[in-house]
Structure formats: C-alpha cells, structure tokens
Amino acid sequence: MITMREEKPKVIMGDATEVRSIYSTNNNVRVIIGADSRSLVDVRVNVPWDLMRRPDSNYVLVSDNENSLVDALKCGNVQIDLVHAIRYSMFKLWGEGMSKEQRDEVSKEMSRILFTLVNSVKKHRKDGNLGAIEERVSNTLKELNDLADKLAGMNYRKAAEFIRENSLFMVTFAKLAVQGKDIPYTSNMIERLMGEVSKRCKHKWAHWSIKGLENILHIVLIRYMRNDIYELFYNAYICPSANPWCP
C-alpha cells in the first residue's frame, strides 16, 4: 500500500485490470486514486475492494459502474461515467436483440439528454444561475425515465431497468454543481492511468509474481501520479550521481 499525500481526497476513482501471472490464475490489479488531489490512495494485487484503503467519509466515487466497487466502498455519492452509462445501456439493448440501427438512435438520444446537462452545467456555473442547473437536472431525469418507459414498451426491459435504476447516479455532478462542488462526469483520469499499467505490465512475455507486480506498479503509478516524487526516487536509486553510466 502507498500513500502519496496526506490530504483526504473528496473525489475518488477506482478501476481494475487483469495481468498475467506465474501462477495458474491471473493477477487482479486494483487501484484507487484521489482525482481532485491527483493522489494515489491505494494499489493492491489480488485484494478485494472492501479491504483497500479509501477516505474515511464524505467522498464522491466516479466510476464506470463496476458494481463490486460501488458496493464495497459504500459511497453516499456516486457519479457514473456518462460515456460508460451510454455504452452499458447499448450493451443491454444488444443482449436483448435490438438492431444496430435502433441502438444507434437510442445512443444518440441518450447522448443528447446527458450532454445537454453537461453543457448546461458548464454554462450556468459561469453565469451563476444555479436555478437553471436544478431545472435542467429535473428535465434530464424526466427525459431518462421517459426513454426507459419507451424501451420497456418495446420489450427491452433490462436496458429500461438499468436506466431507471441508475439515472440519479448520472446527474450527481450536476446536483453537486448547485452546491458549488466541481466533480468530473467521466472516469478518464483513472482510465488513462490503467492504460499505463497495461502498457508496462501486459506484454505477451510478461508473467508476474505478486511481489514483482506490486513493485513495478509502485514505480509506474508514482511516476504517473507524482513526477516530483518519481524524480527523487530515480535520482536516488535508478540513476544516482555516482553512477558513471547515467546520462
């Protein structure tokens, strides 16, 4: 476990990926970051979400809607990545047999609903019209529920249920904007970080022990999250001034 900074982040993100192992099963890498403070909260290998370090309370989880993560962290406030919300709805519709042409139309409609809200929040945060944001949140929830009713009427019940059950988690960023709090509506930050993990650890020839994987993760993630600390580490251990081979 690594703690990069002492302050407790108000916004956290979590994600997981599988990495090849020297054992019979793959290693499961789980990472939690503080998005607003750009801090690495915890990184573990083969440890469940509920045993990982997180802020004590009063934080918002921005997530791609991984249920095990949401359930384990027991957040009061959750924001589902809007792009993932749309993709997951389309996955549900695909599973229920909707044609690609119809899915494309539903995707356009859902994108219009959600990103109209995004643009409204951006506009009215600047002009201070918080009442307009509240009104747009109400309209967005109504439109999402109308879309869910339409899909249910077409017998796409799983997709309709997903939209109904998660619509409130799609507008958290806007509701908090009314309170003067700015949180992301996507999980892009941690997805880029996990891309670094994949780039460094998922080569075809790479099969990791738990300890070896933890060591490389610490180096990779420290470099990604806090370059100043990585430079100290690099100068002290990787390329000290006494080493004649260093540039």
Over the stretch 25-54, which tens digit does the pLDDT of each residue have?
899 999 988 888 778 888 889 999 988 887
Q: By the 8 A CB rule, do 4 and 225 touch?
A: yes
CA atoms within 13 A on the CB side of 118: 15
**pLDDT at position 65, please?**
79
Q: Which amino acid is at 161?
A: E
Percent of the residues in the chain that have a pLDDT greater than 70, as a whole number: 86
User: Residue 35's pLDDT is what?
Assistant: 85
Dig out the tokens for 35 from the structure.
């998005």
Residue 205's Cβ-count burial label (10 Å; 0-12, 13-18, 19+) is exposed
The span from the CA of 192 to the CA of 194, in Å, is 5
Higher pLDDT, 55 or 112: 112
The CA radius of gyration of the chain, in Å to the nearest whole number, is 21
- Non-local (6+) Cβ contacts of 166 within 8 A are 65, 80, 85
Looking at mean pLDDT, say which of 3-12, 56-65, 165-174 comes out highest.
Answer: 165-174
State yes or no: pLDDT of 102 exceeds 70: yes
Check residue 217 and give its pLDDT: 85
Q: What is the mean pLDDT of residues 16-24?
A: 90
Domain boundaries, the chain: 11-77+187-238, 82-178
214 pLDDT band, cuts 50/70/90, is confident
Q: Which residue has the tokens 């990604």?
A: 224
- Between 222 and 81, the more confident residue is 81
**40 forms bridges with which residues in the sheet?**
33
For the chain, the 3-state helix, strand and coil shares in percent, each to the nearest 5, are 55, 15, 30
pLDDT at 59: 84
List CB contacts of 244: < 8 A, sequence separation 6 or more: none
199-211 pLDDT per residue, tens: 888 887 889 999 8
- Give residue 1's pLDDT band: very low, low, confident or very high (50, 70, 90): very low
- pLDDT attached to residue 243: 53
Mean pLDDT computed over every residue of the chain: 86
Q: What is the pLDDT of residue 246?
A: 55
164-187 confidence digits (pLDDT tens) = 999 999 999 999 999 888 999 999
**Host H or E run for residue 11:** strand 11-19
Q: Could you give the 3-state DSSP secondary structure of residue 206?
A: coil
Question: 80, exposed or middle or buried, with CB in 10 Å at 0-12, 13-18, 19+?
Answer: buried
CA distance 84 to 90: 10
* pTM for the predicted model, two decimal places: 0.82
**pLDDT digit string, tens, across residues 75-93:** 778 999 999 999 999 999 9
CA 147/CA 167 separation, integer angstroms: 11
* Nearest-angstrom CA–CA distance, 38 and 9: 8
